[in-house]
Chains A and B, each alone.
Chain A
Amino acid sequence: MSASIIVGLDGSEASGRAADAAADAARRHDLRLVLACVVPWSPYSFSTAEENERRTIDKEREARSARERVLDPALARLSAAGDLQIDGVVRHGHPAETLVSLAREHDAAWITVGRIGQSRVRTLLFGSTPSSLIQLSPVPVLVVP
């Protein structure tokens, strides 16, 4: 028996709708809701020595900003009703891969994400989080328009 639903949040309207849909489903199936905001980051990117020196500070700043601007408003909105068990997570990494590992950690029934997080050109060039998720995820993926 699965325990939770993972929602990928990026601050876009679609990801807000994804969170709403997941909240409805969580109520119906009596599941825990895990709101996840992934800061895009690669362990193989190149950086200068000065950036490396400041990395710990920058990481905290990025995580704090993701929490304040994306996660906290969503948490506040969805927990207002008070009938849901909600967790919020901010993590650095590849968005799709990180959502997949969160799904494993939280024993998720499925992953919910919004559809439009970026422009078509970007999607064409770099792929999108939903399409990567479909390739990677061990659990079903629900994409909310």
Chain B
Amino acid sequence: MTQLALSDVPAREVLAATFDEQVDNVFAPISEFITGVVFAAVPLDFIDEGVELPLIVVWLVVAGIFFTIYLKGFQFRAFGHAIQLIKGKYDDPEDAGEVTHFQALATAVSGTVGLGNIAGVAVAISLGGPGATFWMIIAGLVGMCTKGVECTLGVKYRRVYDDGRVSGGPMYYLSQGLKEKGKGTLGKVLAVLFCIFTLGGAVGGGNMFQANQAFAQAQSVTGGADGWLGFGAAGAVFGLVLALLVGAVIIGGIRSIARVTDKLVPFMAVFYVLACLAVLFSNFTQIPSALWEILRTAFSPEAGFGGVVGVLIQGFRRAAFSNEAGLGSAAIAHSAVKTNEPATEGHVAVLEPFVDTVVICTMTALAIVITGTWADETSAPGVETTSAAFETVAGWFPVVLAVAVILFAYSTMLAWSYYGLKASTYLFGESMFVDRTWKLIFCIFVVIGASSTLDAVIGFSDSMIFLMSLPNIIGLYILSRVVKRELFGYRERLAHGALLPVAERGITPSPTGGSTAATTGVDGTTPNPPPSVEDR
């Protein structure tokens, strides 16, 4: 693909351009094409001139609202029990040593808390105004429900390999769940589509966007275009280093690096929130007016209804990009949890968009709105806007942000390389060749991402990541009754005291049979080891 596009660029230009610009020239047209297809929008000229409604955003939000109503506000009722589950109140002591609810959630959160929370939010507010914050929070609250639905299904239809490995995700609930509903062929088609889009999402939002914004921040704290990361191919060099670090973990199997970042990321997330609070407190006189500004512009009376739609779209779009609700990626991360009840992970999963969007994104948004840097022309929309907000506290504060950005980017990349790996092994079967090829491609895209300009990368990232929601949400609708039965049945047993916290149980654990997790490959055969009946 890259080779082909290269030849379209006139030779003179290629020679004149720096390496970074070359990558950009190649990439921008591809990105523009895909973006145009994915973000097919309905012009709403009857409201106001130039207002457009991207169908994909409607698709995500409608799913969230549908499940919120269909499951009677499940995400809000699930909250308390979810906290008890992650505290381990319901964990069987016999299961000590297995993946706990807390660990599954922490793994998923470290995959989602990425640059969407820092750069994405800045983009939303720069383009949509402070009111986008309000709609982002609403989208986060609605997304909590979608996430709960996905993860319930992810656990219910996960597969257990012969060697004891456990993995799940939309490809399994699409193929297996829809087969149970008598829609086997549709299920297989959707599963394959999901996997293809996941590969795109993994190199896009899960990789290039992260690499790109990590470089942008690294460059800006080292002195911008005049600093030591200012030379023409700096992006490529930075990308190469990052690619080596990613490769060391995913290809080289140097787990110690992954372990270090995994321990750092949760602290970094807390630290980031504290840093945002520091920004808020150093500008505390602005807080009331900023909050009012957010609410006022969310409904933007002066801009008319058209303005509101524009703001709403920005908020929803970046929230979806950040918390990934409805995309199906989280279902992969949550599926390895040790539980007999898929509904438990459904409960725990609602906390993920809460942490990601309602807490972390909102913090970024407040910092940007309060300091007013969103309206600045000097900082490009993206991580630089957030950086400028941080700079109001102290000159060195953007360095703190740079560390957070690079760590978040890195952990998100590792998480997405795993999602992509699961998608590619589903498509092409389990083999060392598939494994290595995918990981190599992934590393190459780190370099491309770091060398590209933001517009091209954001466009591509957005579109591929959002495409995942097409097959995934179709599946969620078809399986909505299954989810309702799982979640409501579980809550009923919980209410009637059939499920007690460990402390109130007798010593003997009651072994219960879980759900089955059988699956077949794309062509109806079984490319992978046949799954056993699940009893985790």
Residues on A facing B (Cβ under 8 Å): 39, 41, 43-57, 59-60, 62-63, 91-93, 98, 101, 105
Contacts and interface: CB of A to CB of B under 8 A. Distances in A.
A56 B96 contact: no
A38 to B, nearest CB: 9
A49 B99 contact: no
**Which of B100, B102, B333, B338 is most buried by chain A, counting CB atoms within 10 A of its CB?**
B100
A55 B98 contact: yes
A54 B97 CA distance: 12
Interface string B218-246: 00000000000000000000000000000
B51 interface: no
A48 B164 contact: no
Contact of A55 (B93, B99, B332, B507): B99
Contacts of A43: 88, 91, 96, 100, 102-103
Q: Which of B255, B263, B336 has the most CB of A within 10 A?
A: B336
A60 to B, nearest CB: 7
B130 interface: no
B104 interface: yes
B107 interface: yes
Nearest to A61: B164
A55 B102 contact: no
A95 B255 CA distance: 25
A41 B107 contact: no
Contacts, number: 87
A49 B262 contact: no
Residue with the highest number of chain A CB atoms closer than 10 Å, among B97, B99, B107, B507: B97
Contacts of B414: 48
B332 A49 contact: yes
Interface residues of B, number: 38
B41 interface: no
Contact of B164 (A46, A49, A51, A56): A56
A52 B110 contact: no
9 contacts: A45-B103, A46-B103, A46-B106, A46-B265, A47-B106, A48-B258, A52-B337, A57-B165, A59-B97
B68 interface: no
Contacts of A60: 164
B164 A105 contact: no
Given A46-B106, A93-B96, A56 B333 contact: no
B491 interface: no
A63 B418 contact: no
A37 to B, nearest CB: 13
Interface in B78-93: 88, 91, 93
Interface of B: 88, 91, 93, 96-100, 102-104, 106-107, 110-111, 163-167, 255, 258-259, 262-263, 265-266, 332-333, 336-338, 414-415, 418-419, 507, 536
Given A43-B88, A56-B164, A92-B96, A49 B102 contact: no
Given A91-B96, A93-B96, 4 more contacts: A43-B103, A48-B107, A48-B255, A54-B164
Contacts of B332: 49
A23 to B, nearest CB: 26
B99 A52 contact: yes
A43 B332 CA distance: 20
Nearest to A50: B418
A92 B97 contact: yes
Q: Which of A48, A49, A60 has the most CB of B within 10 A?
A: A49
Contacts of A41: 96-97
B119 to A, nearest CB: 23
Given A43-B91, A43-B102, A63 B97 contact: yes
Contact of A52 (B258, B336, B507): B336
Contact of A53 (B100, B106, B336): B336
A52 B96 contact: no
Contact of A48 (B167, B338, B418): B418
B97 A52 contact: no
B166 A53 contact: yes
A46 B262 CA distance: 6
A62 B336 CA distance: 18
A52 B337 CA distance: 8
Contacts of B536: 56
Given A46-B110, A46-B266, A52 B103 contact: yes
A135 B158 CA distance: 42
Contacts of A50: 418
Nearest to B263: A46
A53 B96 contact: no
A91 B93 CA distance: 9
Nearest to A55: B99
A47 B262 contact: yes
Given A48-B414, A49-B336, A49-B415, A54 B110 contact: no
